[in-house]
Amino acid sequence: MWYYEKKLQYPVKVSECNPRLAKYLIEQYGGADGELSAALRYLNQRYTIPDKVVGLLNDIGTEEFAHLEMIATMIYKLTKDATPEQLVEAGLGPHFVNHDHALYYQNAAGSPWTATYIQAKGDPIADLYEDIAAEEKARATYQWIIDISDDPWINDSLKFLREREIVHSQRFHEAVEILKEERDRKKVF
């Protein structure tokens, strides 16, 4: 189903070890509006979406896994050389005690990822509006992380991800219009 190319969708570089920034990025790793939630939401919803737009959910859901890989790489690079003291100072002490430097699906506040973050109503238009909202919330979160980040290389990658959220939102809007047109077409039997 997928072809895995052993490189990131967009390059990820970091200026220096920065566990504080990594803590904020964890929101996009395991938070409600993060990349894992998006990927699972779209790949789950595709089973009850009309054929006219099913490919869109498959494509974007797959791309979200590539984004998850980028976020994981950022977090790893920002923390791999951090001392336990630096992690504690950044608010990652409980994470370190439970997981050392390993990544774990949780939000920036430390709450573990949960399936309640994803939605699937079964109504294609309702689900697509949920997807639009998810993309816009992810876009906003990326912007807020950029606003507090002082790492130009990380910001470059985050700007790429933010722009992809905008494109996904636009594509979901197009899918809604396709389904509304189909729904409103007169049916003659």
- Annotated binding-site members for Ca(2+): 59
Give the 3-state secondary structure of residue 43.
helix
173 an active-site residue?
A: no
Beta bridge partners, 112, equal: 106
Which residue among the candidates 135, 173, 181, 182 is catalytic per the annotation? 135
Q: Which of 27, 67, 95, 130 is catalytic?
A: 67
35 is catalytic: yes
Q: Is 130 a catalytic residue?
A: no
- Catalytic annotation present for 163: no
Annotated binding site: 35, 59, 64, 67, 135, 168
Catalytic residue among 27, 63, 130, 165: 165
Taking CA 152 as the corner, what is the angle to CA 12 and CA 9, rounded to the nearest 5 degrees?
A: 25
Catalytic residue among 27, 95, 130, 168: 168
Alpha carbons 62 and 104: distance in angstroms, whole number: 20
Annotated binding site for Mn(2+): 35, 64, 67, 135, 168
Indicate which residues carry an active-site annotation.
35, 64, 67, 135, 165, 168
